[in-house]
Structure 1
């Protein structure tokens, strides 16, 4: 048995079988969604005959609905139950996407996409919380494994989406609708309803008990505010790639495939770079809060490097690799932190934090678009680097409030 086979065998042995089934289904769902997400702007322009500015408004409405959806999803998790909440959102999302095939009116499309963004927002914190509750002994590794698998699916789906769109734009919505419905059906049969996973997994959650209201959670700002603000500025920095680097490469005469190559590299690093992040976690960033701080430091260094040496495509690749390492440290760490520190209230805080992140996704494109139109790439790169440094400051503030004891890196009790 060669080394690769041994590693895969060890991977499958490290998780419960039901968790592996969930990861596989999540991978398929992520692949299906990725077929669609890069094409919305082109669909509005090419099929509905609207301007790129109007296409940008569609994405804005979708992001706003997503913010509301994440907050609502987190708040309703225990009231409706994870199975009812997640499966119904998936089925409705599949129905909405399938209906796009028959829609030829811009404003009807806007409504469908906005409701779809809301339902997706509901599902995100709910699924993350469900993973943390059901497999609490494995959740650190699981969040990372699902993140890697989903990003691999995104890379595959984005590539497949272009091929499908070349045949038919509406077909992309049909394929994504089918994959979303398949995931919803899988979850309907897969998710346990009795006993309630979320309750049994959090009986020791102590500080944030069942009787605390959303208002009481919001008042406990130390648990979420600085992490949420850090995520907001991280995503402002993140959107630089599509709203700064992309037009810059086009202006410099590079073909679109060279921009796509950056995201291919991103996917390869996420998949193959696990030993690097594993080494960072075992040496200089042993706790979750340290990983979050290190993530923003990597992103700041990567964007700062690009700001100084953006004239060379090779240096853009180097910057992308460094930034991707930061992304790999951050994104699985956030749901893990809330699962371990907030107990039963984890869905609420995941949704709240996700709302902060969506504000960053919404703000970045407008900021960079105006900067690039008036002053070019250097102010864009400077703004992105500064946003990443600001996120580093907020993450440091968060880390100062949530230091983990060396003898215990995992806790289900919230500490204020």
Structure 2
């Protein structure tokens, strides 16, 4: 892999490690420490994700116009300012304001990270996005495991730890990313409508694919919201719950290279990978829905992790292949904003279903969403001409 990609990988690990101190515990903090209902917690997370959707779209366009370095520095600066505020004022309602700002700042960062990864190693295909995906999950494993320990000692230290990690991320970006040379799309930006019109079918295909991608995220995010709170109610400790996410991240780091080898031998297309992944998601939620002990949720998390290894790296790869030259950031912004949109809708939907009905009803609805996602994945490229770059194996 190119040196520039390694710098992006290191930065992503530090970034997500900091975020993972807090995001798996957000619902628990709002519900248990601030004394708010699951529906209120869902609204707060929805506002955070809504701001992140705006940040993703803005950040993707920013990458195409001014490049990744400046976009990432801007996103980190906004996020760090909010984290410093949250460290000192993590009470209601200041918590809401800082969560919104954090959502917008982090939203700017991710499209540029993905677009830069694809640009600095174009010949790597899916491997570049796999590398960033693995880095994210290594950060999840580190942050979640440490976060559970820190939170058990003092929840207030979680906010400080997140802030310190973002200071480190800022230093890595300042001294490591400035020298990374990628095409920011400045030439295309001067005639921005031409590639969109010319590649309208590609854009429509991406939007259809992302509609199912959004539904997958609506379901997936329940593990950090309604399911996390439910585990507390049935006697699973905070350390045990955080351990689930440590397993998630560690398994991805260890198993992703093995999965890549298997997929290469099977010559599996990106579409087939995504469909298999969604099917595995369904099995995971069936297991979790029937679990009443930690061991059941552990099995469900392992199955969930296998499913996401099929899906999450595949969608950015399809988006990068569909993107016209100079619009890579915009297309990655769509993908990231879709995932964030799922994280926005998911907590509110899940919280309302649990508050009004039950956890069993929630799991039934989520399985229905996965079935719809399988249909959109099957149909997304029907209007496209045969395009080996998109539908064939990308390795």
Mark yes or no: TM-score above 0.5: yes
Match of 2:346 in 1: 364
Contact in 2 for aligned 1:240/1:384 (Cα 8 Å)? no
Alignment partners' CA distance in 2, 1:196 and 1:316: 43
Match of 2:55 among 69, 94, 97: 69
Alignment partners' CA distance in 2, 1:365 and 1:407: 32
Contact in 2 for aligned 1:100/1:170 (Cα 8 Å)? no
Alignment partners' CA distance in 1, 2:301 and 2:383: 31
Question: Which deviates the most, 188-197 or 111-120?
Answer: 188-197
Question: Which deviates the most, 31-40 or 241-250?
Answer: 241-250
Kindly state the Cα deviation for residue 215 of structure 1 after the two structures are TM-superposed: 10
Contact in 2 for aligned 1:31/1:157 (Cα 8 Å)? yes
Match of 1:405 in 2: 388
Question: Which deviates the most, 288-297 or 390-399?
Answer: 288-297
Alignment partners' CA distance in 2, 1:407 and 1:360: 24
Kindly state the Cα deviation for residue 186 of structure 1 after the two structures are TM-superposed: 1.8
Q: Does 1:263 align with 2:242?
A: no
Match of 1:114 in 2: 100
Specify the SS of the correspondent of 2:355.
Answer: helix
Q: What's the C-alpha RMSD, in Å, of the aligned pairs? A: 3.3
Pick closer, same or farther for the CA change 1:365–1:120 going to 2, 3 Å: same
Q: Does 1:321 align with 2:302?
A: yes
Q: Does 1:334 align with 2:315?
A: yes
Alignment partners' CA distance in 1, 2:174 and 2:72: 9
Contact in 1 for aligned 2:321/2:390 (Cα 8 Å)? no
Alignment partners' CA distance in 2, 1:28 and 1:255: 26
Specify the SS of the correspondent of 2:21.
Answer: helix
Specify the SS of the correspondent of 2:192.
Answer: coil
Alignment partners' CA distance in 1, 2:195 and 2:156: 43
Match of 1:11 in 2: none
Match of 1:38 in 2: 24
Match of 2:36 in 1: 51
- Write the deviation string for residues 215-266 of structure 1: whole angstroms up to 9, x where unpaired: 9469544232111101111012212324454455445444444444433332
**Count of residues in Structure 1 that have an aligned counterpart in Structure 2:** 389
Match of 1:213 among 180, 189, 193: 193
The higher relative CO (CA closer than 8 Å, separation ≥ 6) is in: 2
Alignment partners' CA distance in 2, 1:214 and 1:299: 39
Kindly state the Cα deviation for residue 120 of structure 1 after the two structures are TM-superposed: 0.7
Q: Does 1:233 align with 2:215?
A: yes
Rg larger for: 1
Q: Does 1:180 align with 2:166?
A: yes
Q: Does 1:348 align with 2:330?
A: yes
Pick closer, same or farther for the CA change 1:285–1:395 going to 2, 3 Å: farther
Contact in 1 for aligned 2:45/2:347 (Cα 8 Å)? no
Contact in 2 for aligned 1:94/1:176 (Cα 8 Å)? no
Pick closer, same or farther for the CA change 1:251–1:178 going to 2, 3 Å: closer
Which ranges in structure 1 are unaligned for 5 or more consecutive residues? Answer: 1-14, 412-416
Specify the SS of the correspondent of 1:197.
Answer: coil
Contact in 2 for aligned 1:87/1:185 (Cα 8 Å)? no
Specify the SS of the correspondent of 1:344.
Answer: coil
Specify the SS of the correspondent of 2:93.
Answer: helix
